[in-house]
Structure 1
Amino acid sequence: MRGSAGRALKTPTFFENFATGFARGNPHLDPESSISWELGIDRTIFGSTGEIRLTWFNQSFEDLIQFTFARSIPTDPSYFNVAAANSRGLELQLGTQWRRVGGSATWTWLDTQVTDSGFEEGPGATFVRGESLLRRPNHNANFHVAVDLNNGVDVYGDLGVTGSRSDRDFSSFPATPVKLQSYAVFSVGGRWEIFPSAQSLSRLVFDMRVENAPPRNTRRLP
């Protein structure tokens, strides 16, 4: 059994503190804060050749900084500590080594919820009370396999799967709620130890297109 707890702070950016012009900074902003804890268990499996790790985690975010257009006078600040959210999830990790073959798998379930939407309202808002945080998939998985071929040569393969996520299309006003599709990235690579102090490393990523956020697409991977 293992467990941990902690508190983290994220300081405001220089722009959020001291911006001038159309957007006005707020020098009195507090840092965004989060409190987190986790509990987990670890067990060996397949004799002593494998391990399973199960972890439950929980986070709460407070004093999230938000921008507002609704200023009483032009000199009023545009940024305030108003939004809040919670996050919880479960992570399962498996790992094993059998002779010259090793493998691991990780699956994460994540549930987020906005508890204070701050200034924003409506389905197109960045924070909507009771809904999930943007661009946080409920499911995420990673798989890794490596094989030792002797004579200093290793080959490996990786597969990463990211589930669908809620987002906003900010090209329109108000922003339109959208759903980003799930995607997978598969890569293979190898390592050749030419002599003890030098290695040759190669990696190949299959040609694909990944849409991280609307409406723009990333370039095709080489």
Structure 2
Amino acid sequence: MTDSTTGEAERRWDTDAAALEYRGAFTNGLDVQFGVRHDDNSRFRSKTIWNAGLSWRVEGTPWRLHASAGTGLSNPQYYQIIGGFGSTGNPDLKPEESRSVDLGVEYTLPDGRGTLDLTWFRERLEDEIEWFAAEEGNPNYRNQIGTSRREGVEVAYRHDITDSLTVGAAYTYLDATDPDGSVEVRRPRHELAMNAALQTFGGRGWLAADLRHVRDLTDSVGGATTNLPNFTTVNLAASYDLTDSARLTGRITNLFDKDYSEVWGYAAPGRAAWVGVETRW
């Protein structure tokens, strides 16, 4: 794999990677997975990362236990190294390195048509890359010193109410902090998602809606951390099979034209609609 770019000066680096993965499913309800990957990069230090997971459906009960763990690597982006758009790059940046773990339990509802899942997760990030205001000519990107911490819980629900109606919901609580203990920006503490899908016209069409609510989202403004307004958005989508090979589709995003922002100074798109036809042959 080769990455290259042209701009102020041509830059290029190569990555040779090798990966191995194992998956197994056993008659006692246990499923396991393990993977390992080694990256040999011409610019950054070579690194080996891994991931592992298991799922165990307890026989004769409605319970399933699941867990996973692993490490990760993210190389700096070109704009962070060479700069641009009013920012000065930093050629001395190091890749971000992470390690994570999660534990969870899933419960199958008595009617067998839905599940309820609770998961705890934790992640540790080293050398996180951040932008900061600097004097002209000095780098605007740097690796944070120390460990960034993210930890939280997620509750997910899915239920086939009828053969044609499915509903779902998920709530995530996230506690994310920088190495100095301050709240990490652009990561909401509370996020709720709800969705529903309905088959219509004898299975020839479907309608879908989803709702997203975000609370306690922060961003940096002039070197200080500021709370952004809470917001809720709703999206709709639909399709109808005109023939066996043609499908009419449509979707509306931000249905109620909500004014909101997830990054300070950048407004999110307002209401938008699309209509189209898909063909298959």
TM-score normalised per structure 1: 0.79
Aligned mates of 1:164, 1:218 — CA distance in 2 = 17
Task: Tell me the residue number matched to 2:259.
Answer: 209
Q: Could you report, residue by residue, the CA deviation over 1:1-56 in whole angstroms, capped at 9, with x for unpaired residues?
A: 11111111111233444569x946334x3211111111111111042011111111
Matching residue of 1:41? 105
CA distance in 2, matches of 1:156, 1:81: 42
Structure 1: 5+ residue stretches without partners: 116-128
Which one-letter code corresponds to 1:25 in the other structure?
A: N
Letter in 1 for 2:196: V
CA separation in 2, counterparts of 1:155 and 1:162? 24
RMSD over aligned CA atoms reads 2.7
Kept in 2: contact 1:26–1:79 (CA 8 A): no
Greater relative contact order structure (CA < 8 Å, 6+ sep): 1
Give the match for residue 144 of structure 1: 195
SS of corresponding position for 1:55: strand
Q: Measured at CA, do residues 178 and 10 of structure 1 come closer, stay the same or move farther in structure 2, by a change above 3 Å? A: same
Deviations 1:85-138 (A, max 9, x none): 1001111110010222110101101011222xxxxxxxxxxxxx2121001111
Structure 1 position 160 matched with structure 2 position 222: no
Offset of residue 167 of structure 1: 1.6
Query: Paired residue for 2:242?
Result: 194
Q: Structure 2 stretches of 5 or more lacking a match?
A: 1-64, 273-281
Counterpart-to-counterpart distance in 1, 2:199 and 2:142: 55
Secondary structure of the equivalent of 2:90?
Answer: coil
Percent identity of paired positions between Structure 1 and Structure 2: 22
Query: Which residue of the partner structure matches residue 227 of structure 2?
Result: 179
Quote the offset at 1:189 in angstroms.
2.5
SS at match of 1:195: coil
**Structure 2 length-normalised TM:** 0.64
The alignment of Structure 1 onto Structure 2 pairs a total of residues equal to: 201
